Amino acid sequence: MPHEVWIPPVHRDLTHGVERVAVDGTSVGAVIDSLDAQFPGLAARLSENGRLRPGIAVAVDGVIAARGWRHKLTGASEIHFVPAMAGG
């Protein structure tokens, strides 16, 4: 089941500018692994020790996934990795 994943601009240097990719996975963690297989280094930017990095949230079909890395995906989804914004 392919998911449409939107890559944040800050990470597009690893995707050669690609902003959307289709990958398979039954969980957010599996999607991150699939992304890393296509774009080495992306998993290290999004996760550490089997969890999303602090300051990174994931939205699945427009809803922030509270379970993060462990969020199960039951159908084709739209996934956004959302980096924290600083400023004030």
* Residue 88, domain member (yes or no): no
Task: Write the pLDDT tens digit of every residue in 24-82.
Answer: 999 999 999 999 999 999 999 999 998 999 999 999 999 999 899 999 999 999 999 99
CATH of the domain at 32: 3.10.20.30
Tens of pLDDT along 21-31? 999 999 999 99
Long-range contacts of 20-29 (CB under 8 A, 24+ apart): 25/73, 26/1, 26/72, 26/73, 27/69, 27/70, 27/71, 27/72, 27/73, 28/52, 28/58, 28/60, 28/65, 28/67, 28/68, 28/69, 28/70, 28/71, 28/73, 28/79, 29/69, 29/70
What per-residue confidence (pLDDT) applies to 86? 57
Question: How many domains in the chain?
Answer: 1
Range of the domain at 7: 2-83
